[in-house]
Amino acid sequence: MRRCFVPKCLALLACAVLWLPLKAQGSEVPIQASGKPLPTNGPYLSIGLGALKPEDVSKGSLDTSFDLGPLTEAAVGYRFGDFRTDISYSYTKNTVDRVSAQIMGATRDLPSNGSMQTNSGFLNLYYDVPTRKRFRPYLGGGVGYSRVDYSINGSASVNDFTQTRSYGSSFNSLGYQGKIGVSYAASNTIDLFTEAVYRGFTMKMSPYQSIDSLGFQLGVRYRF
């Protein structure tokens, strides 16, 4: 059964993002050796590592939940003042945690295995809230293209009769993501950041259900 944890988690992180800069009232933006402020325009590279969990998926008589799995994302972009845009590549992989099915009128948890992995490319746009401090909250989102591969298997024995249920496929889909986070200017060229990630696909795994996921990342951004 699908769980509505996405709005609650995003609301909690939004509160944290808005609270952190207020705690850093004494942390001014770093300046260059010349005494001039940091440039507001320029290219950057970033990499993030974290974890992501898809919501439960139902298909036919099977309900499937996934474990929290690794999330990686690398990006190259350009900053325009308080706005920045980048192109990113992301990889995720989640193993099957539990599969349940209706068998002879009863819901049973099945011995199961399988996984789902995605390879995605996104074009993203971000807005960094101007705080004039080292801590800066930001909002962002992007659209792109994703390759999804999944295979799910489950089997059960009832009255000496073993039933096996499985499904799997590979498909390409338009993807989208939303982010809310906070960055910290550690030096003239290095930003550290943490963010929550909401991600989805326009293609559905079943006639009525798309894939929605929630995760987080910690990362570093290098400004040229």
pLDDT in tens, 99-151: 777 666 666 777 777 888 999 999 999 999 988 788 999 999 999 999 988 88
Rounded to whole angstroms, the Cα distance separating 206 from 167 reads 11
The band of 165, judged by pLDDT with boundaries at 50, 70 and 90, is low
How far the first Cα of the chain sits from its last, in Å, is 47
The band of 208, judged by pLDDT with boundaries at 50, 70 and 90, is very low
- Tens digits of per-residue pLDDT, 10-55? 555 555 544 554 444 444 445 444 444 555 789 999 999 999 999 8
Q: Where are the domains of the chain?
A: 6-25+42-223
Given a cut of 80, whether residue 224 has pLDDT beyond it is yes
Given a cut of 60, whether residue 5 has pLDDT beyond it is no
**pLDDT given at position 24:** 44
In the predicted model, what is the mean pLDDT of residues 150-163? 61
On the CB side of 137, CA atoms within 13 Å amount to 15
Give backbone dihedrals phi and psi of 179, rounded to 5 degrees, phi first.
Answer: -135, 150
Q: What is the CATH number of domain 6-25+42-223?
A: 2.40.160.20
Rounded to whole angstroms, the Cα distance separating 214 from 65 reads 13
In DSSP terms, which residues pair with 28 in a beta bridge? Answer: 133
